[in-house]
Homo-oligomer: A and B are copies of this chain.
Amino acid sequence: MRIGEVAKRAKLTVATLRYYEEIGLIAPPRRVNGRRSYNEGVFEVLATIRLAQRAGFTLKEIRSLLNTDAAGALSARWRPIAERKVREVKETIREYQARLTLLEQGLDCACTDLTDCVLH
C-alpha cells in the first residue's frame, strides 16, 4: 500500500505518516524506487498510537512502548509511566476545575476594570 492510501484510511496526512517514521514510530519498507510500502498491520499500530495519545502519552513515550520487544517488558515499562500519568491527569483536572470556578465567578462579577475585580 502506498502512503496516500494509508493516510486516507487512517485519516492522517502523508506528512504526519512520514513524521511518525522520522521519529521511529513506524518503519515501512521501501520499494526499489524508494517509495514506502505499507501493509495492513500499520493500521493496528496507528490505532495504538492514537489510543495512547488519547491516554495522554507523548509520542516519545509511545515509541518506547511500541519498541518493547520482550513479553512482559511492556507492562513493566508501561505501569510506572501510566501511574505517573494518572497522577498528572488528576492534577490537571483539578487545575481545570479551579479555572472553571474562576471563570464562573468572573462572569458573575460586575467589575468594569480587571484590576478592580473582586476576584483579586
- Is A99 close to B, CB under 8 A? yes
A120-B47 contact in complex given A82-B103, A100-B86, C-beta closer than 8 Å: yes
Quick one: copies of this chain in the complex? 2
Q: What residues of B have a CB within 8 angstroms of the CB of A56 in the complex?
A: 96, 99, 103
A→B interface (CB under 8 Å) = 44-45, 47-48, 51-52, 54-56, 65-66, 68, 71-72, 74-75, 78-79, 82-83, 85-86, 89-90, 92-93, 96-100, 102-104, 106-107, 110-115, 117, 119-120
A102-B71 contact in complex given A65-B114, A66-B114, C-beta closer than 8 Å: no
Q: What residues of B have a CB within 8 angstroms of the CB of A103 in the complex?
A: 55-56, 82, 85-86, 89
List 7 tightest A-B contacts by C-beta distance, closest first.
Answer: A55-B102, A71-B112, A44-B115, A56-B99, A93-B96, A48-B115, A48-B114
- B45 close to A111 (CB less than 8 A): no
Chain A interface mostly helix, strand, loop or mixed?
A: helix
Q: What residues of B have a CB within 8 angstroms of the CB of A102 in the complex?
A: 51, 54-55
Which B-chain residue is minimally distant from A119 (CB atoms)? B51
* Cα separation A2 to B75 with both chains bound (whole Å): 54
